[in-house]
Amino acid sequence: MKALILSGGKGTRLRPLTYTGAKQLVPVANKPILWYGIEAIVAAGITDIGIIISPETGEEVKTKTGTGDRFGAKITYIRQDQPAGLAHAVKIAQPFLGDSPFLMYLGDNLVQSDLSLFIQRFQERNLDALTLLCTVPNPTAFGVAKVDEEGRVLQLVEKPKVPPSNLALVGIYLFSNTVHNAIANIQPSARGELEITDAIQYLIDQPKKVESFQLQGWWLDTGKKDDLLEANRVILDTLLETDVQGKVDENSQVIGRVKIGQGSQVVNCTIRGPVTIGSNCHLENCFIGPYSSVADQVTLVDTDLEHSVILQGAKVIGVQQRIVDSVIGQRAQLSVAPRRPKALRFMIGDDSQIELV
- Model pLDDT, residue 247: 96
Between the two ends of the chain, the Cα-to-Cα distance in Å is 52
pLDDT in tens, 19-78: 555 778 888 899 999 999 999 999 999 999 999 998 888 898 999 999 999 999 999 999
Nearest CA among 98, 77, 80 for reference residue 89: 80
Any idea of the CA torsion for 34, 40, 41, 45, to the nearest 10 degrees? 150
| CATH number of the domain bearing residue 32 | 3.90.550.10
Structural domain that includes position 124: 2-235
Tell me what the mean pLDDT of segment 212-233 comes to: 81
Q: Is the pLDDT of residue 248 over 80?
A: yes
Task: Evaluate whether residue 356 is within a structural domain.
Answer: no
Residue 344 lies in a domain: no
Where does a domain end: 179, 206, 235? 235
DSSP per residue, 86-142: HHHHHHHTHHHHTT--EEEEETTEEE-S-HHHHHHHHHHTT-SEEEEEEE-S-GGGS
26 and 107 housed in the same domain: yes
**Cα separation, 162 vs 67, whole angstroms:** 45
- What's the whole-number mean pLDDT along residues 238-253? 95
The reply to whether 71 and 151 lie within a common domain is: yes
Q: Is the pLDDT of residue 354 over 70?
A: no
**What is the number of domains present in the chain?**
2
- CA-based nearest residue to 125, from 147, 87, 151: 151
Q: Are residues 171 and 314 in the same domain?
A: no
- The mean-pLDDT minimum among 151-165, 316-330, 331-345 falls in 331-345
Residue 353 lies in a domain: no
Last residue of a domain, one of 235, 261, 277: 235
Q: Do 93 and 187 belong together in one domain?
A: yes
* Residue 347 forms part of a structural domain: no
- CATH number, domain of 301, equals 2.160.10.10
260 and 212 assigned to the same domain: no
Residue 119 domain flag: yes
Contacts of 345 (CB under 8 A, 6+ apart): none
Residues 277 and 204 in one domain: no
The answer to whether residues 57 and 198 belong to one domain is: yes
Check pLDDT > 90 for residue 178: yes
What pTM value is reported for the model? 0.87
- Least confidently predicted of 14-18, 188-192, 260-264: 14-18
Average pLDDT rounded to a whole number, residues 282-303: 96
Look at residue 260 in the predicted model and tell me its pLDDT: 97
C-alpha to C-alpha distance for 292 and 308, rounded to whole angstroms: 5
Domain boundary among 217, 235, 253: 235
Kindly state whether residues 225 and 168 are assigned to the same domain.
Answer: yes
Do 252 and 191 have their domain in common?
no
Is residue 354 assigned to a domain?
no
pLDDT at 184 over 90: yes
| Partners of residue 212 on adjacent β-strands | 131
Statement to judge: residues 290 and 152 lie in one domain: no
126 domain residue, yes or no: yes
Query: Please, are residues 243 and 262 in contact by the beta-carbon 8 Å criterion?
Result: no
Same domain, 229 and 247: no
269: helix, strand or coil: coil
The one-character DSSP state at 51 is: E
Helix and strand numbers, DSSP H then E, in the chain: 8, 30
85-108, pLDDT tens digit by residue?
Answer: 999 999 999 999 999 999 999 988
Q: Is 330 domain-assigned? A: yes
219-221 and 109-111 beta bridge pairing: antiparallel
How large is the C-alpha radius of gyration of the chain?
A: 22
Tell me: do 212 and 328 sit in the same domain: no
